Structure 1
Amino acid sequence: MLVAGALLVMGRGLAYLVDEGLSKQDPELLNRAVIATALIALCLAIGSYLRTTLVNQVGEQVLARIRSALFAHVLGLSPGWFESARTGDILARITTDTAIVQTVMTSTISMAVRNLILLVGGLVMLVLSSPKMSLVVLIVVPLVVAPMIGLGRRLRRASRLAQDRLADVAVQAEESVSAMRTVQAFARQGFV
């Protein structure tokens, strides 16, 4: 919230700097405006650092628990399941799926919350400063957001397909490497 608030205030600070500091040519007022803008930028930097550090620490702790639970679950599956599942596929799924969860936990959620606060705060500031402009924004934003939703769905399907292909590659690599001693015994490396 600190970072989102600092970003919203930064715009007002720059407007004050231009409107009051530069146009009135008052050196004292200009100095205060520059110092205020620099302090806002400092708050923004500190807040971003703290948010990133905190979210990464919490995300790593949660992810470690998820990995442990997932590994325990896989070890508890029946032998029949292991007969039908490919080892490389299992390993690729564990690796890529936990990496996706890590990305969501460490960056996507915090950025979504920050951007939601920025959206609401920006809309409030827009309505307060120019009600007519806010109507234009309310008309234009859905025209921009609708294609993005469709694109997001296509990207999700493409991501699943890419994960499936990665699993296939991992299966082939695992089978080739695990049987390498046998392959080398028959000098058939070129056929793997």
Structure 2
Amino acid sequence: MRDFGYMEKGQSSSLYDFKLWVRILRISSGFKVPIGIAVALSLGATFAALSVPYLMKTGIDSYITVTTIPVDQRYGGLGKIGLIIGVLISIGFALTFIQAVLLEWVGQSVMHRIRQRLFNHILNLDLSFLTNQPAGRLVTRLTNDVQNMYEMFTSVLVTMFNDILRLIGILVVLYLLNVQLALVMTIFVPLALIMTLVFSGLAREKFRAIRSQLSRINSFVQESVSGISIVQLFGQQRQWYEKFDSLSGEYLSRTLKQIRLFAAFMPLTEFMSWTAVGLILLYGGNLVIDRSLSIGELIAFIAYMRLFFQPLRELAQKYSIVQSALA
């Protein structure tokens, strides 16, 4: 029988599996235009988001802290900058909204195509294969696994590119603002990347453990319902309930482990983010006192630092979604 890439339990694909990515891209090949539009919208939203802290810096340094120009000009300048910031925020909101709707449509369309192909594939499988496979596992492949693929299309492929672009853009802007402060901030980049990679690896293990246990539960429920008359005939209700309770308890345990992992990662990221802000405030404050840095630049630096750690958190989660979808 032809190999369609079916993954037995215990096996997993890799993020670096080139053949699998080719298959995924082939399935979505009919949606190149909407995906390209989504990427363009993502670029526009990123530009709008990164422009706001710089405009804040301009407003502070050019109008708030400057006393050599008339007060009415200062008010007028601040009003113009406030208006520009409002327009950029509105544009960013609109672009993000359109992108989300577009990606939802693409994701649902691609998943519809995958479901149709999977079901048709199952209908044409060898009888020997179907006999050896629990029906619950096949149901999981058609439902839960397809849902994971849907999440990858809608919340990962384009937005992961957006997050990487935002990180690069923030680093470039920080070095343009002040090299000394940017070097201080760069210390946290490898630490954040290491923490993100460690979390992603652990999260992938937890996701796979949860999915394999869910497959066992689905298989057990399907077999129980189809053979319920035999179970009742031999009075095995109690034994079957205890077995289901054991399977369900193991699923709960694995899910709680995943929750604890996420609960630990998010505060760690926040701690690192605020530690970076504290160091920037300490070192940058000294530069402001020495008149080597303006107050606006310091505030913009802190704002960019807060923006920098947000995509790192999102990248870790999306990396896990990709691994779960490719598994």
Question: What TM-score does the superposition give when structure 1 sets the normalisation length?
Answer: 0.91
Report the counterpart of residue 46 of structure 1 in structure 2.
94
Measured after TM superposition, the shift of residue 125 of structure 1 is 0.8
Q: Deviations over 1:82-105 (max 9, x none)?
A: 111101111123222111111111
- Aligned equivalents of 2:63, 2:182: Cα separation in 1: 27
Q: Deviations over 1:165-190 (max 9, x none)?
A: 00011111111122234445666544
Q: What is the one-letter code of the residue matched to 1:27? A: Y
Q: Deviations over 1:128-160 (max 9, x none)?
A: 111223333333201221122122111111111
Q: Note the residue ranges of structure 2 that are not aligned, 5 or more in a row.
A: 1-42, 241-327
Report the counterpart of residue 143 of structure 1 in structure 2.
191
- Aligned equivalents of 1:71, 1:11: Cα separation in 2: 50
Choose the corresponding residue for 1:20, options 51, 55, 62.
Answer: 62
Q: What is the one-letter code of the residue matched to 2:91? A: C
SS at match of 2:146: helix
Q: Deviations over 1:45-69 (max 9, x none)?
A: 1011011111111111111111111
Do the aligned residues in 2 keep the contact of 1:21 with 1:33 (CA within 8 Å)? no
Report the counterpart of residue 173 of structure 1 in structure 2.
221
Report the counterpart of residue 150 of structure 2 in structure 1.
102
SS at match of 2:125: coil
Choose the corresponding residue for 1:116, options 164, 178, 183.
Answer: 164
Do the aligned residues in 2 keep the contact of 1:6 with 1:44 (CA within 8 Å)? yes
Measured after TM superposition, the shift of residue 162 of structure 1 is 0.8
Identity of aligned residues (%): 23
* Structure with greater helix share of residues: 1
- Aligned equivalents of 1:29, 1:49: Cα separation in 2: 30
Q: Which moved more, 1:150-159 or 1:174-183?
A: 174-183
Q: Indicate whether 1:7 and 2:49 are aligned.
A: yes
Q: Deviations over 1:98-125 (max 9, x none)?
A: 1111111100122211111111211111
- Aligned equivalents of 2:121, 2:98: Cα separation in 1: 34
SS at match of 1:154: helix
Measured after TM superposition, the shift of residue 10 of structure 1 is 1.2
Q: Note the residue ranges of structure 1 that are not aligned, 5 or more in a row.
A: none
Measured after TM superposition, the shift of residue 17 of structure 1 is 3.0
Q: What is the one-letter code of the residue matched to 1:37? A: I
Report the counterpart of residue 128 of structure 1 in structure 2.
176
Pairing of 1:62-77 with structure 2 (within 5 A): 62-77=110-125
Do the aligned residues in 2 keep the contact of 1:7 with 1:44 (CA within 8 Å)? yes
Say if 1:27 and 1:138 are closer, same or farther in 2 by CA, change over 3 A.
Answer: closer
Aligned Cα root-mean-square deviation (Å): 1.8
